Every structure is written in C-alpha cells, then in structure tokens.
C-alpha cells in the first residue's frame, strides 16, 4: 500500500521549463524597467510639447487665400524670407 514513485521526466520539456523559471526574474525586471522608462519618456515629452506651445506661435494659411499673399509679401519686405516663399527643387 505504499505510494509508487513516479519517475522524473528529464526530457527537453523539463529543462526548458527550469530554464524559463531561472530567467523569468530577469525578463520581468527588464519588462517593468522598460515600462517605467517609457512612462517617464511620455511624461517628459508631454511637458516639452506644452512648453513648445507657449514658446512658438504657428498659423496655417492656405495658398489660395488672400491673407497668404499679404503675409508672404510682408515677410519678404521685412527680410524674413527671400524669394516668393515657395519650395523649389533643384539638383545639387
């Protein structure tokens, strides 16, 4: 009436499982570290974008609007841009 001993399976499955259990703390710490680093990066990026919104002013003017031509002429006359302000492609 004694309990029979169950033979241990020393096959590839048990070796892989033991290797995974040995490596899991390192994998867990790398995953959590990456998550924390990503959260810090997202927070700093959010703060930087808020600062940039206060530092820079931007407007959008369509090229077929009369205001675009007026602003373009004003910037040219004051020396902020040279030429007509359009993008031009040329070979180097």
pTM: 0.45
What are the sequence ranges of the domains in the chain? 12-44, 56-86
How many CB atoms are closer than 10 A to CB 75? 13
Tokens representing residue 47 in the block: 């703060």
Digitized pLDDT (tens) for each residue of the chain, 92 residues in all: 555 655 565 666 678 888 888 888 888 898 999 999 999 999 999 999 999 888 887 778 888 888 888 888 888 888 777 766 565 555 65
């Amino acid at each position: 009436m004694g309990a029979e001993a169950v033979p241990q399976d020393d096959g590839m499955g048990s070796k892989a499982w033991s290797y995974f259990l040995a490596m899991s703390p390192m994998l867990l710490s790398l995953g959590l570290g990456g998550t924390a680093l990503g959260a810090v990066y997202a927070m700093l990026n959010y703060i930087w974008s808020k600062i940039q919104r206060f530092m820079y002013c931007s407007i959008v003017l369509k090229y077929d609007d009369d205001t675009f031509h007026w602003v373009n002429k004003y910037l040219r006359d004051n020396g902020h841009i040279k030429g007509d302000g359009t993008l031009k492609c040329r070979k180097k």
